[in-house]
Homo-oligomer: A and B are copies of this chain.
Amino acid sequence: MHFADTLAQAIDRCGAPACVGLDPVLEKIPRAALDATAREGGDDVEALGDFCIGVLHATRDAGVGVVKPQSACFERHGSRGFAQLERVVAEAHRLGLLVILDAKRGDIGVSAQHYAAWAFDHLDAHAVTVSPYLGPDAVEPLVRDGRGVFVLVRTSNPDSDAVQSPRLADGRSVSELMADTVRTLGEHRRGGRGLSDVGAVVGATKAVEAAALRERMPDQFFLVPGFGAQGGTIDDVRRMTREGARTPGELGVVVNASRSVIYAAPEPGEPWQSAVRSAAEALVRDLRDLC
């Protein structure tokens, strides 16, 4: 099945374009989750995986169908952290969740093929994020039937302006140049809903520019970080949606929230999993306003 159709279907089933980001950091994982792993004889690295699996179940129970593991959080623990990422992605598959691997890889030719093999053949992720500074040939090896890529176009961090905002001689900003590149890469790769499997990362905090980017990328899925904890609002996201969408999946956005969901503070006596589930449900409610 075409990736953009799979993604649109997952969003329609949820009723909102929600994605839960898995950014597990030991210092922030609830005490109760660390203790549960320790009781089973597991160590801190295994606790990362156990915690994420708990989040996956809460996410599924809340009706959210898309998750975005942040590879860096696992990689910092080396090969054992990588093994936990493998475990988490496998469990997401078992639960029927769509996995966008946030790895921001970007390398040339054969190295890009290695990253494709890692993301798609080895981990079996549905999609991966890609950094485009090396140009289109760093992205192409990751474009594959049935899978998706999200190319960094406009990111939510403060310093991104230094690289992405400067104007070219032809009037476009660097991020607009990148948007045109992404559109070209995804031109003949549209699925049944009209959306391409070559998507873009566009931060929620850059809403003013997002409308212009949408004009340049009418058929791209936008993966939108920066919602919630990082300051992006529902009105910001609204500026990025496609016109004429008949269902939430056709809005062409998938909005990620990480910390505000996975580290939701439980009420006294409430299990942390229940707090995560409630926060994921609140995310869905908020995003239903888009539809």
A residues at B contact (CB < 8 Å): 23, 25, 70, 72-73, 75-80, 82-83, 85-86, 104-112, 114-115, 117-118, 121-123, 131-138, 152, 155-164, 166-170, 174, 177-178, 181
Q: Enumerate chain B residues within 8 angstroms of A72, measured Cβ to Cβ.
A: 105, 107, 111-112, 114-115, 118
Please, how many angstroms separate the alpha-carbon atoms of A79 and B104 in the complex? Answer: 18
Whether the Cβ atoms of B158 and A134 lie closer than 8 Å is no
23 residue pairs of the A-B complex, CB under 8 angstroms, read A23-B111, A25-B110, A72-B112, A75-B115, A76-B117, A77-B122, A78-B82, A78-B122, A79-B82, A79-B86, A104-B131, A108-B156, A108-B160, A131-B131, A131-B133, A132-B133, A133-B155, A135-B161, A135-B162, A135-B163, A135-B164, A137-B157, A138-B157
A125 to chain B, nearest CB (A): 12
Q: Enumerate chain B residues within 8 angstroms of A131, measured Cβ to Cβ.
A: 104, 106, 131, 133-134
Q: Enumerate chain B residues within 8 angstroms of A156, measured Cβ to Cβ.
A: 108
Q: Enumerate chain B residues within 8 angstroms of A157, measured Cβ to Cβ.
A: 108-109, 134-135, 137-138
Q: Enumerate chain B residues within 8 angstroms of A163, measured Cβ to Cβ.
A: 132-135, 177-178, 181
Q: Enumerate chain B residues within 8 angstroms of A170, measured Cβ to Cβ.
A: 166
Please, how many angstroms separate the alpha-carbon atoms of A170 and B137 in the complex? Answer: 27
4 interchain residue pairs of minimum CB distance: A135-B159, A72-B114, A137-B159, A79-B82
Whether the Cβ atoms of A136 and B115 lie closer than 8 Å is no
Please, how many angstroms separate the alpha-carbon atoms of A118 and B80 in the complex? Answer: 12
Please, how many angstroms separate the alpha-carbon atoms of A75 and B103 in the complex? Answer: 12
Whether the Cβ atoms of A118 and B168 lie closer than 8 Å is no
In the complex, residue of chain B having the shortest beta-carbon distance to the beta carbon of A25 = B110
Q: Enumerate chain B residues within 8 angstroms of A73, measured Cβ to Cβ.
A: 111, 114
Whether the Cβ atoms of B118 and A135 lie closer than 8 Å is no
A90 to chain B, nearest CB (A): 11
A16 to chain B, nearest CB (A): 25
A167 to chain B, nearest CB (A): 5
A112 to chain B, nearest CB (A): 8
Whether the Cβ atoms of A106 and B106 lie closer than 8 Å is yes
A51 to chain B, nearest CB (A): 16
Q: Enumerate chain B residues within 8 angstroms of A111, measured Cβ to Cβ.
A: 23, 70, 72-73
Q: Enumerate chain B residues within 8 angstroms of A160, measured Cβ to Cβ.
A: 108, 134-135, 137
Please, how many angstroms separate the alpha-carbon atoms of A66 and B134 in the complex? Answer: 24
A19 to chain B, nearest CB (A): 16
Whether the Cβ atoms of A122 and B76 lie closer than 8 Å is yes
Please, how many angstroms separate the alpha-carbon atoms of A166 and B157 in the complex? Answer: 23
In the complex, residue of chain B having the shortest beta-carbon distance to the beta carbon of A104 = B107
For the A-B complex with A73-B111, A137-B157 known, give 16 more contacts whose Cβ atoms are closer than 8 Å: A25-B110, A72-B107, A72-B118, A75-B114, A76-B115, A78-B123, A79-B85, A82-B82, A106-B131, A108-B155, A133-B155, A133-B164, A134-B159, A135-B155, A138-B157, A166-B170
